[in-house]
Amino acid sequence: MFAPFAQSAAGALDVIRNAGGVVLLEQSLPELEGLLLRIRASDGDAVRLAQALRQALPQATVDLHARLFLFPLAGSGGSGANVSAPRQYARNLLQMPTTPVALKREVRVGVIDSGVDRVGALAGGVAGERSFLPNEASPADGVHGTAVAALIAGQDNSMGFSGAAPGAKLYIARAMSVLPDGRSYTNAVSVLQALDWLLAEKVPIVNMSLGGKGDATLAIGIAQAIRKGMMVVAAAGNSGAWAAASFPAALPNVIAVTAVDVESKLYQQSNRGEYVMIAAPGVDVWAPARIGGANGSYVSGTSFAAAWVSGALAAAAGQAAGAVDRAKWSQALCASAKDLGSAGRDNDFGCGLLQVADFTARLR
């Protein structure tokens, strides 16, 4: 449950107890301007409790516990491969210079994901890191988070590798636990805690390469972060053409990213839908994430396309004279995209393929 500060905390707690709820977590989120509560129904009937709380606390947002999952690694080199000069096509496809341009000012990017491994490409790039895992949780390994972070801001000259915005400062929110079946997941509680921390750290761009079913508490928290100027980038999902919309990507004003290959063809496993906003490379892209002892891997998925978009936003912010303007920048992303598929915006590619040079030109 998420309650605005206008709601009396003491009064809310009384209502929860009277309705048969047991408070497992009570935390103030000052940047999101609300109180976060995790509640268990004493009789095991969570649906009944949620309905009772919605009626008794109309100002609060109440929803059932829902999981958000990391989109798993896939690709021709998904098991890892030692490569001295990896094949890289993303920068060219995105209309970015082969050699990254140095940032003119500090740029901060948040990554809500697993942790990250200290690979060479991220040396000096992680400015802040915090765990938002419940005490009883088993943390997910850092492979997925490392790949995402490296594509955003990594650089390894020995391999000729560079992400979208080398030099950007990464703030890593470790929010992913692992299930017995090996899947990595999080929930709205951890994500809202992470968003509050990132707002406090003055992070304007946040990448979320994860997704799941809709959650009202997550929606209200992300809306508040966006209202405060944060640009939220999320992977559109890897569940295929007929899958339900993936959240948080499908939330209003979130930049939902789909994936294309070296020929600008759509990644076959990409979700489709009206919420898809922009496309970026996400099929067989090289990432220096250690898999099976190797020095990196070619990975596929909308997770990695989202990372390129977050990094491109960071690169633009590093050259811009003013602060990140969410509304203006989102409009410029679409207006500058290279149209793919059906003419105009469509459910497969959104506005089209991100074109960084044209995008940054529109910000001047």
pLDDT tier at 75 (50, 70, 90 boundaries)? low
CATH for 67-362, options being 3.40.50.2300, 3.40.50.200, 3.30.460.20, 3.90.1200.10: 3.40.50.200
Structure tokens at 357: 């040079």
pLDDT mean over 56-61: 89
pLDDT, tens digit, for every residue of 225-257? 999 999 999 999 999 999 999 999 999 999 999
Please report where in the chains the tokens 């109440």 appear, as a residue. Answer: 62
Q: Are 287 and 304 in contact (CB under 8 A)?
A: yes
Angle made by CA atoms 154, 111, 263, in degrees to the nearest 5: 60
pLDDT of residue 344: 95
pLDDT mean over 150-170: 92
pLDDT of residue 94: 96
pLDDT of residue 321: 81
pLDDT of residue 318: 95
- CA atoms of 191 and 208, how far apart (whole Å): 9
Choosing from 162, 246, 303, 330, the catalytic residue is 303
pLDDT tier at 79 (50, 70, 90 boundaries)? very low
Whether the per-residue pLDDT at 119 is higher than 80: the answer is: yes
- Residue 208 DSSP SS3: strand
pLDDT mean over 323-350: 96
pLDDT of residue 191: 98
Please report where in the chains the tokens 């109180």 appear, as a residue. Answer: 35
| Residue 120, φ and ψ in degrees, nearest 5 | -60, -35
Delimit the domains of the chain by residue range. Answer: 2-56, 67-362
Q: Report CA-CA distances (Å) from 37 to 46, 131, 136, 355.
A: 14, 18, 18, 42
351 Cβ partners below 8 Å, 6+ apart? 277, 278, 333, 334, 335, 337, 339, 345
Whether the per-residue pLDDT at 275 is higher than 70: the answer is: yes
Q: Are 51 and 173 in contact (CB under 8 A)?
A: no
Q: Which of 41-50, 72-81, 170-179 has the lowest mean pLDDT?
A: 72-81
pLDDT of residue 77: 47
Q: Provide the total of helices (H) and of strands (E) in the chain, helices listed first.
A: 9, 18
Q: Is 301 left (phi over 0), alpha (psi -120 to 50) or beta?
A: left
Whether the per-residue pLDDT at 290 is higher than 80: the answer is: no
- Percent helix, strand, coil in the chain, to 5, is 25, 25, 50
For residues 245-254, b (16+ Cβ closer than 10 Å) or e, as one string? bbbbbbbebb
Choosing from 144, 162, 190, 246, the catalytic residue is 144
Whether the per-residue pLDDT at 5 is higher than 90: the answer is: no
- CA atoms of 104 and 239, how far apart (whole Å): 39
Q: Is the dihedral of CA 344, 324, 233, 262 positive or negative?
A: positive
Choosing from 113, 196, 215, 348, the catalytic residue is 113
Give Dmax (Cα) for the chain.
Answer: 64
pLDDT of residue 82: 56
Question: pTM value?
Answer: 0.94
To the query of whether residue 303 is one of the catalytic residues in this protein, the response is yes
pLDDT of residue 27: 93
Q: Is the dihedral of CA 26, 29, 30, 32 positive or negative?
A: negative
Q: Which of 20-29, 69-78, 114-123, 159-168 has the lowest mean pLDDT?
A: 69-78
pLDDT mean over 290-316: 90
To the query of whether residue 144 is one of the catalytic residues in this protein, the response is yes
pLDDT of residue 147: 95
pLDDT tier at 337 (50, 70, 90 boundaries)? very high
pLDDT tier at 134 (50, 70, 90 boundaries)? confident
Amino acid of residue 43: D
Q: What is the mean pLDDT of the chain?
A: 91
Whether the per-residue pLDDT at 38 is higher than 50: the answer is: yes
